[in-house]
Protein backbone atom coordinates (compact mmCIF):
# COMPACT_ATOMS: atom_id res chain seq x y z
CA UNK A 1 0.00 0.00 0.00
CA UNK A 2 1.53 3.25 -1.15
CA UNK A 3 1.14 6.42 0.91
CA UNK A 4 0.26 9.60 -0.89
CA UNK A 5 1.72 12.86 0.34
CA UNK A 6 -0.68 14.97 2.40
CA UNK A 7 -1.69 18.24 0.73
CA UNK A 8 -2.82 20.68 3.45
CA UNK A 9 -4.32 23.19 0.97
CA UNK A 10 -6.47 20.44 -0.54
CA UNK A 11 -7.66 19.42 2.95
CA UNK A 12 -8.50 23.03 3.92
CA UNK A 13 -10.35 23.55 0.64
CA UNK A 14 -12.41 20.39 1.17
CA UNK A 15 -13.30 21.42 4.77
CA UNK A 16 -14.31 24.94 3.69
CA UNK A 17 -16.59 23.47 0.98
CA UNK A 18 -18.19 21.15 3.54
CA UNK A 19 -18.58 23.86 6.20
CA UNK A 20 -18.91 27.34 4.62
CA UNK A 21 -19.30 29.02 8.04
CA UNK A 22 -15.60 28.25 8.60
CA UNK A 23 -14.76 30.93 6.01
CA UNK A 24 -16.54 33.57 8.09
CA UNK A 25 -14.82 32.28 11.22
CA UNK A 26 -11.40 32.44 9.50
CA UNK A 27 -12.06 36.01 8.33
CA UNK A 28 -13.07 37.04 11.86
CA UNK A 29 -9.90 35.45 13.29
CA UNK A 30 -7.69 37.25 10.77
CA UNK A 31 -9.50 40.53 11.52
CA UNK A 32 -9.05 40.10 15.27
CA UNK A 33 -5.39 39.25 14.75
CA UNK A 34 -4.84 42.39 12.71
CA UNK A 35 -6.77 44.46 15.25
CA UNK A 36 -4.53 43.16 18.04
CA UNK A 37 -1.26 43.57 16.12
CA UNK A 38 -1.69 46.72 14.01
CA UNK A 39 -1.67 49.89 16.16
CA UNK A 40 -4.50 52.04 14.85
CA UNK A 41 -3.93 55.75 15.58
CA UNK A 42 -7.07 56.21 17.68
CA UNK A 43 -6.21 53.19 19.84
CA UNK A 44 -2.64 54.42 20.28
CA UNK A 45 -3.84 57.92 21.18
CA UNK A 46 -6.36 56.55 23.67
CA UNK A 47 -3.57 54.48 25.24
CA UNK A 48 -1.43 57.63 25.67
CA UNK A 49 -4.33 59.47 27.35
CA UNK A 50 -5.14 56.60 29.73
CA UNK A 51 -1.44 56.16 30.54
CA UNK A 52 -1.13 59.90 31.27
CA UNK A 53 -4.15 59.73 33.61
CA UNK A 54 -2.52 56.88 35.54
CA UNK A 55 0.78 58.78 35.75
CA UNK A 56 -1.02 61.92 36.99
CA UNK A 57 -2.80 59.82 39.64
CA UNK A 58 0.59 58.51 40.75
CA UNK A 59 1.85 62.13 40.76
CA UNK A 60 5.02 61.04 38.92
CA UNK A 61 6.29 64.12 37.09
CA UNK A 62 9.33 62.20 35.81
CA UNK A 63 7.15 59.78 33.82
CA UNK A 64 4.73 62.52 32.75
CA UNK A 65 7.31 64.92 31.33
CA UNK A 66 8.16 62.82 28.21
CA UNK A 67 4.48 62.83 27.19
CA UNK A 68 4.60 66.58 26.46
CA UNK A 69 5.64 67.79 23.00
CA UNK A 70 8.32 70.47 22.84
CA UNK A 71 5.77 72.98 21.53
CA UNK A 72 3.19 72.21 24.26
CA UNK A 73 0.92 75.13 25.14
CA UNK A 74 -1.89 75.45 27.67
CA UNK A 75 -3.85 78.68 28.30
CA UNK A 76 -4.09 77.83 32.02
CA UNK A 77 -0.47 76.82 32.71
CA UNK A 78 1.64 78.14 29.81
CA UNK A 79 4.35 76.41 27.83
CA UNK A 80 5.88 72.96 28.41
CA UNK A 81 8.45 73.95 31.05
CA UNK A 82 6.05 76.18 32.99
CA UNK A 83 3.35 73.48 32.92
CA UNK A 84 5.77 70.85 34.21
CA UNK A 85 6.95 73.21 36.97
CA UNK A 86 3.36 74.03 38.01
CA UNK A 87 2.39 70.35 38.01
CA UNK A 88 5.41 69.52 40.18
CA UNK A 89 4.33 72.14 42.72
CA UNK A 90 0.72 70.94 42.66
CA UNK A 91 1.76 67.28 43.08
CA UNK A 92 3.71 68.18 46.24
CA UNK A 93 0.54 69.67 47.75
CA UNK A 94 -1.64 66.64 47.01
CA UNK A 95 -2.26 63.82 49.45
CA UNK A 96 -4.27 61.77 46.97
CA UNK A 97 -5.65 62.14 43.47
CA UNK A 98 -8.06 59.97 41.47
CA UNK A 99 -9.29 60.34 37.90
CA UNK A 100 -12.14 58.37 36.39
CA UNK A 101 -12.34 58.75 32.61
CA UNK A 102 -15.91 58.60 31.37
CA UNK A 103 -15.45 59.14 27.62
CA UNK A 104 -12.72 59.88 25.06
CA UNK A 105 -13.61 61.18 21.59
CA UNK A 106 -10.68 61.32 19.17
CA UNK A 107 -10.38 63.01 15.79
CA UNK A 108 -7.12 62.64 13.92
CA UNK A 109 -5.72 63.69 10.61
CA UNK A 110 -2.21 62.63 9.69
CA UNK A 111 0.22 63.43 12.50
CA UNK A 112 -2.18 65.63 14.48
CA UNK A 113 -5.13 64.69 16.66
CA UNK A 114 -7.66 66.26 18.98
CA UNK A 115 -9.16 64.34 21.88
CA UNK A 116 -12.08 65.49 24.01
CA UNK A 117 -11.88 63.76 27.38
CA UNK A 118 -14.76 63.74 29.86
CA UNK A 119 -13.74 62.68 33.36
CA UNK A 120 -14.43 62.90 37.09
CA UNK A 121 -11.68 63.96 39.45
CA UNK A 122 -11.22 63.96 43.20
CA UNK A 123 -8.26 64.90 45.33
CA UNK A 124 -7.16 65.52 48.90
CA UNK A 125 -4.74 68.24 49.89
CA UNK A 126 -2.03 67.89 52.51
CA UNK A 127 -2.69 70.03 55.55
CA UNK A 128 -0.26 69.56 58.40
CA UNK A 129 0.98 66.12 59.42
CA UNK A 130 -2.13 63.98 59.08
CA UNK A 131 -4.98 66.24 58.03
CA UNK A 132 -6.50 65.69 54.59
CA UNK A 133 -8.90 68.05 52.88
CA UNK A 134 -11.02 66.11 50.36
CA UNK A 135 -12.21 67.85 47.22
CA UNK A 136 -15.14 66.26 45.36
CA UNK A 137 -15.93 62.61 45.07
CA UNK A 138 -15.92 60.10 42.25
CA UNK A 139 -19.55 59.24 41.74
CA UNK A 140 -21.09 57.82 38.62
CA UNK A 141 -23.39 60.77 38.05
CA UNK A 142 -22.43 64.39 37.48
CA UNK A 143 -23.90 66.92 39.87
CA UNK A 144 -23.22 70.50 40.87
CA UNK A 145 -20.81 69.19 43.52
CA UNK A 146 -19.20 66.64 41.18
CA UNK A 147 -19.32 67.88 37.59
CA UNK A 148 -18.14 65.88 34.64
CA UNK A 149 -14.95 67.74 33.74
CA UNK A 150 -14.06 68.25 30.09
CA UNK A 151 -10.61 68.62 28.61
CA UNK A 152 -9.59 69.11 25.01
CA UNK A 153 -6.15 67.70 24.27
CA UNK A 154 -4.09 68.33 21.17
CA UNK A 155 -1.68 65.57 20.23
CA UNK A 156 1.09 65.39 17.68
CA UNK A 157 2.98 62.39 16.36
CA UNK A 158 6.63 63.36 16.56
CA UNK A 159 9.58 62.19 14.45
CA UNK A 160 10.31 59.29 16.84
CA UNK A 161 6.83 57.88 16.12
CA UNK A 162 5.36 58.63 19.57
CA UNK A 163 2.19 60.66 20.17
CA UNK A 164 2.68 63.54 22.62
CA UNK A 165 0.45 66.24 24.04
CA UNK A 166 0.80 69.55 22.18
CA UNK A 167 -1.98 71.42 23.98
CA UNK A 168 -4.50 71.15 26.78
CA UNK A 169 -7.56 73.29 27.22
CA UNK A 170 -10.24 72.91 29.88
CA UNK A 171 -13.74 73.22 28.53
CA UNK A 172 -16.73 74.21 30.65
CA UNK A 173 -18.00 71.25 32.71
CA UNK A 174 -20.77 69.22 31.16
CA UNK A 175 -24.06 70.10 32.84
CA UNK A 176 -25.66 67.33 34.83
CA UNK A 177 -29.11 66.12 33.85
CA UNK A 178 -30.48 67.21 37.25
CA UNK A 179 -28.86 70.66 37.04
CA UNK A 180 -30.05 71.16 33.46
CA UNK A 181 -33.61 70.18 34.42
CA UNK A 182 -33.66 72.73 37.26
CA UNK A 183 -32.62 75.63 34.99
Is the pLDDT at 7 greater than 80, yes or no? no
For residue range 88-114, list pLDDT tens digits in order.
998 888 888 888 899 999 998 999 999
Rounded (10°) angle between helices 8-18 and 21-37: 120
Question: Which among 49, 145, 62, 64 is positioned nearest to 99, based on CA atoms?
Answer: 49
Tell me the whole-structure pTM to 2 decimals.
0.69
Average pLDDT across the chain, whole number? 79
User: For 56-95, how does the pLDDT look when each residue is reduced to its tens digit (9 = 90+)?
Assistant: 999 999 999 999 999 999 998 899 999 999 999 988 888 8
User: Of 31-40, 43-52, 95-104, which range is least confident?
Assistant: 31-40
Gyration radius (Cα) of the chain, Å: 25
Residue 183 has pLDDT above 90, yes or no: no
The answer to whether 142 touches 181, Cβ cutoff 8 Å, is: no
Arithmetic mean of pLDDT, 26-42? 70
Q: Give the closest residue to 119 by CA, choosing from 43, 58, 170, 61.
A: 170
Structural domains of the chain, ranges and CATH numbers in brackets: 40-182 (3.10.450.50)
State percent of the chain over pLDDT 70. 67
**Taken in order 68, 100, 150, 83, is the CA torsion positive or negative?**
negative
Q: Containing H/E element for 163?
A: strand 163-174
How much is the pLDDT for 128? Answer: 57
Which pLDDT value is given to residue 41?
77
Q: State residue 21's pLDDT score.
A: 65
Mean pLDDT for 135-149 is: 57
Residue 153 scores a pLDDT above 90: yes
Res 27: pLDDT = 76
Amino acid sequence: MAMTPHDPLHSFGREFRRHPYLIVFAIILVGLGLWAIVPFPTRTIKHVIVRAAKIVQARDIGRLQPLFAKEFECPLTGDRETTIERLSEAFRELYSLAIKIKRIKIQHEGDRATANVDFYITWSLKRGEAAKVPIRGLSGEPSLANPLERLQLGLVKEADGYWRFSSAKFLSPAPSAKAAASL
